[in-house]
A and B are shown apart, each in its own frame.
Chain A
Amino acid sequence: MDKRLEERLFKILMIVSLGIVVGSLFMVIAVIIWNGAPSLSISMMTQTPKGGYYLGKEGGILNAIMGSLYLAFGSVILALIISLPAALSLQKDYIGKTRLAYYIRLSLDVLWGTPSIVYGAFGFIVMLYFGMRASLMGGIIVLTILQLPIMIRSMEEVIKLVPYELKEASYTLGATRFETTSGVVIRQALPGIFTAVILAFGRGIGDAASVLFTAGYTDSLPRSLFDPVASLPLAVFFQLGTPFPEVQQRAYASALILLIIVLTLSIVSRYLSRKFTKNIIR
């Protein structure tokens, strides 16, 4: 084949491929909006399911929206408390260059790739062992485990970007490693840490397979950490599973709510991290 022709042919193929990939994103969003928007209403977002809701009667999915927010906030806070120090200890001032750090990173990568259904099954075993039943607490713990590798690995990436000269300046002034880390490194890496938190929050609020086993589902708002709790992804799943078109319509609307939350989060985080980065020394 003529080499110019081959070049042109492959270039067209590449553009078509990229078009399909980007187009599929817009198609997913468009289909969800198209089907979800008509049955989206204020009452859906402000009421809990009333009697007969799953047969198409009155009510909303406030239980699932609040449940998901509780789950996602609870787990993100717990995960942040564990993952920030863990990510900081992977700096080269600490264990960053050692064999140990190599294995820690590898095993976190494995955890990142582990499917959420496996976390769900693991959480279920642990809860059985301690005699707990499906609850907000169980869901938060499993989501925390799910978010840990995401947070540690992405925070580590941004912490690595803090210029070493800055740390040296701090060391020269007599600061200890801890003082340098808490005073200089964290402040410099703050936008990146924030982005990592949002990424993990999005993963947490959207995951269904892990909370299916551990958080349960209920039509009421949770009153304590040990009550079962509903979540948006499961609300979508269960409503879609009913044979009634009205309820399925609400599943589409619930999916739209979930999609809006997740897309807003990722767009806001991108905007904020760009804004914060202006004040960061590179």
Chain B
Amino acid sequence: MFSRKLKDIIAGRLMLAAAVLSSMLVIIIAVALYLRAKPILDVKSIAELLLGSTWMPFQGEFGFFPFILGTLYVTLIAMVIAVPLSILSAIYLAEYAHENVRTKVLPVIDLLAGIPPVVYGVWGVLAVVPVISYIAPVIGNLGIPFLTVKGYSTGYSMLAGGIVLAIMVFPIIISISEQVLRAVPFDMREASLSLGATRWQTIKHAVIRIAYPGIAAAIILGFSRAIGETMAVLMVVGNVPNIPSSVFDSAYPLTALIANNYGEMMSIPLYDSALLLAALILMLVILFFTVAARLILIRIERRMAHG
């Protein structure tokens, strides 16, 4: 009897230790990155690093601005493409689609989430980049702002990165929004429908209004996935550190900066510090977004549990 009890207690402790230690990794990673980023934070101000636009490691110039801009632009393009398509798909799956269709389409969208980033990168190089290099001069000469082309375009551009990223975040936004939409209580719909509203009016005025925070959370999670994506973007975005003015320009996102330069970063003073600071910035931004989105989703879950 005694030994069974003892076994139970020891097993309980070990299980708890595994859970606590795994979750502590967030803090461990953040502290480790901070300690390695500290040398550069000691000699340069945060503003100088974030807003400086010269990147010359040999001269000790580390301005992250073009890279931050690159990350933001590529991510924004991805969201402009992905958000409407994903939300409309999620509404269709949750509100209109027959149960049969829904249970067949959702696993297919899950498959999309399982494809490795490198494969998306290859697809981008083969299918997206050539199309963009073909259409860029045509659209570029129309003189629309943000859609201009200087001379010609190789196709390796922010738009290519945005398209590849958009496809990678479809599954995240769709699966979470679809769950949130289906969690809206049915009597809300009944009330609206009984007043003579059409299905779409009901969705627009009742369902979306209730599901709105959850859809926002889905978008935030998609956004943070896009910000952190490395290989797929790196392969199609051109990797030129300039301040881009058109979607057909190349950009150089933060993630690509880290991945491309780790090899030589130990040979130049402060270079490793700068790159690890970039990793720390990425991590903190994503931490902030994930926590925000999760808090929204947890609240929705609780409200559902309490009826």
Q: Is there an interface contact between A116 and B230, defined as CB atoms closer than 8 Å?
A: yes
Q: Which residues of B contact A262 (CB under 8 A)?
A: 114-116, 119
Contact mask B97-128 → A, CB, 8 Å, 1/0?
00000000101111110111111111101110
Interface residues of A in 20-39 (CB under 8 A from B): 20-22, 24-25, 27-28, 31-32, 35
Q: Is there an interface contact between A113 and B119, defined as CB atoms closer than 8 Å?
A: no
Q: Within the complex, which residue of A103, A114, A179, A181 is in contact with B228, where a contact is CB–CB below 8 Å?
A: A114
Q: Which residues of A contact B286 (CB under 8 A)?
A: 110, 113-115
Interface residues of B in 58-117 (CB under 8 A from A): 84-86, 88-89, 91-93, 96, 105, 107-112, 114-117
Interface residues of B in 225-283 (CB under 8 A from A): 225, 227-231, 235, 255, 258-259, 262, 275-276, 279, 282-283
The CA of A82 and the CA of B25, in the complex, are separated in Å by 13
Q: Is there an interface contact between A7 and B85, defined as CB atoms closer than 8 Å?
A: no
Residues A118 and B283 in contact in the complex (CB < 8 Å), given A21-B174, A251-B122: yes
Residues A27 and B127 in contact in the complex (CB < 8 Å), given A258-B119, A266-B111: yes
Residues A13 and B88 in contact in the complex (CB < 8 Å), given A35-B126, A104-B23, A121-B279: yes
Q: Within the complex, which residue of B96, B227, B287 is in contact with A110, where a contact is CB–CB below 8 Å?
A: B287
Q: Is there an interface contact between A110 and B89, defined as CB atoms closer than 8 Å?
A: no
Q: Tell me, yes or no, whether A206 is within 8 Å of chain B by CB.
A: yes
Q: Which residues of B contact A124 (CB under 8 A)?
A: 262
Contact mask A74-106 → B, CB, 8 Å, 1/0?
000000001101111110001100001101101
Q: Within the complex, which residue of A82, A122, A255 is in contact with B119, where a contact is CB–CB below 8 Å?
A: A255
Contact mask A109-127 → B, CB, 8 Å, 1/0?
1111111111111101110
Interface residues of B in 133-147 (CB under 8 A from A): none
Q: Tell me, yes or no, whether B195 is within 8 Å of chain A by CB.
A: no
Q: Is there an interface contact between B33 and A122, defined as CB atoms closer than 8 Å?
A: yes
Q: Within the complex, which residue of A21, A106, A119, A208 is in contact with B294, where a contact is CB–CB below 8 Å?
A: A106
Q: Tell me, yes or no, whether B200 is within 8 Å of chain A by CB.
A: yes
Residues A178 and B11 in contact in the complex (CB < 8 Å), given A18-B89, A115-B255: yes
Stretch from A42-50, A51-59, A145-153, A221-229 that touches the partner: A145-153
Q: Is there an interface contact between A82 and B11, defined as CB atoms closer than 8 Å?
A: no
Q: Is there an interface contact between A95 and B255, defined as CB atoms closer than 8 Å?
A: no
Stretch from B12-20, B38-46, B49-57, B184-192 that touches the partner: B12-20
Q: Which residues of B contact A268 (CB under 8 A)?
A: none
Q: Within the complex, which residue of A13, A212, A236, A263 is in contact with B262, where a contact is CB–CB below 8 Å?
A: A212
Q: Is there an interface contact between A240 and B22, defined as CB atoms closer than 8 Å?
A: no
Q: Tell me, yes or no, whether B221 is within 8 Å of chain A by CB.
A: yes
Residue of B nearest to A233 (CB): B118
Q: How many residues of B contact A (CB 8 A)?
A: 83
Q: Tell me, yes or no, whether A130 is within 8 Å of chain B by CB.
A: no
Q: Tell me, yes or no, whether B29 is within 8 Å of chain A by CB.
A: yes
Distance from B286 Cβ to chain A, minimum over Cβ atoms (Å): 6
Q: Tell me, yes or no, whether A107 is within 8 Å of chain B by CB.
A: yes
Q: Is there an interface contact between B258 and A177, defined as CB atoms closer than 8 Å?
A: no
The CA of A27 and the CA of B91, in the complex, are separated in Å by 23
Q: Tell me, yes or no, whether B306 is within 8 Å of chain A by CB.
A: no
Distance from B171 Cβ to chain A, minimum over Cβ atoms (Å): 9
Q: Tell me, yes or no, whether A237 is within 8 Å of chain B by CB.
A: yes
Residues A233 and B22 in contact in the complex (CB < 8 Å), given A20-B85, A117-B228: no
Q: Which residues of B contact A94 (CB under 8 A)?
A: 12, 15-16
Q: Is there an interface contact between A111 and B8, defined as CB atoms closer than 8 Å?
A: no
Q: Within the complex, which residue of B24, B115, B230 is in contact with A209, where a contact is CB–CB below 8 Å?
A: B230
Residue of B nearest to A93 (CB): B12
Residue of A nearest to B11 (CB): A178
The CA of A207 and the CA of B4, in the complex, are separated in Å by 43
Q: Within the complex, which residue of A89, A109, A206, A240 is in contact with B122, where a contact is CB–CB below 8 Å?
A: A240
Q: Is there an interface contact between B231 and A15, defined as CB atoms closer than 8 Å?
A: no
Q: Which residues of A contact B7 (CB under 8 A)?
A: 176, 178
Q: Tell me, yes or no, whether B170 is within 8 Å of chain A by CB.
A: yes
The CA of A18 and the CA of B106, in the complex, are separated in Å by 11
Q: Within the complex, which residue of B25, B92, B127, B258 is in contact with A18, where a contact is CB–CB below 8 Å?
A: B92
Beyond A207-B116, A259-B119, 13 additional pairs, beta carbon < 8 A: A17-B92, A86-B22, A89-B12, A94-B15, A95-B19, A110-B26, A115-B227, A116-B230, A118-B228, A206-B114, A237-B118, A258-B116, A263-B115
Query: Would you list 17 pairs from A and B whose C-beta atoms are within 8 A, ordered by A residue?
Result: A10-B88, A15-B92, A32-B126, A86-B18, A89-B19, A104-B22, A117-B258, A117-B282, A119-B29, A125-B276, A177-B12, A208-B117, A209-B117, A236-B119, A237-B235, A258-B119, A259-B116
3 shortest A-B CB distances, which residue pairs? A115-B228, A206-B116, A89-B15
